[in-house]
Amino acid sequence: MYREMSSIQISSRQANLTDANESPALALLDQKKIAWAGQFPTTPETFWSWCLAQSQEMLLELLAYCVARTVNGVQSKVDHSTARLQHADALARALGCDMSKWFAATAQNFFLRVSKSQMADALREAGKPLSVEGLKRKKTELAALAEKEIVGTGWLPEPVRISPGSPVIDETGK
């Protein structure tokens, strides 16, 4: 139930990010993890003393990192509630997140997973309309072309887009 209500999820389980191996966001989080790990004491007993000795700014940076590792704005096939995704979008808007800096559609991570007509729609949305002849290409060729044409346009697939501002609705409908 908590999963549906908020995009921030405190869990000991690590999300499966195998499809995000080349993500700049994941690379940055991994760099931050190494940096934080190098600053922490090695025992739980000394960790809390270390925390008490830190500045408020340092602790807020640590808190921001911890929260960043727990935000889940990914819509799955079994999601029945939109509240969690609305919270994720609200957080992204509040932080001024530009997803085009963190995700680029490629043949491997997007275009080979959608139909040829969806690739054509993506190219049209990005201002790179496909000719009738272009649709006759093999799917792998069209995916490679779409990846090449989309680069630098800022186009994002619908699941990665941050929705425009709308009020967050809680589970009671308020």
Beta pairing partners, 8: 71
Q: What's the CA gap between 4 and 102, in Å, rounded?
A: 24
pLDDT tens, residue by residue, 50-82: 999 999 999 999 999 988 888 888 777 777 778
Report the percentage of the chain scoring pLDDT > 70: 82
Q: In the numeric block, which tokens belong to residue 157?
A: 């697939």
The full set of domain ranges for the chain reads 2-11+21-97, 111-159
pLDDT tens, residue by residue, 126-163: 999 998 888 899 999 999 999 999 999 999 998 888 98
Q: What mean pLDDT value characterizes the chain?
A: 83
Q: Please, what sign has the CA dihedral across residues 83, 166, 120, 140?
A: negative
pLDDT of residue 84 exceeding 70, the answer is: yes
Query: Is there a contact between 170 and 83 (Cβ–Cβ < 8 Å)?
Result: yes
pLDDT of residue 1 exceeding 50, the answer is: no
Q: Report the candidate in 89, 63, 112, 107 with the shortest Cα–Cα distance to residue 159.
A: 89
Q: What's the CA gap between 174 and 5, in Å, rounded?
A: 13
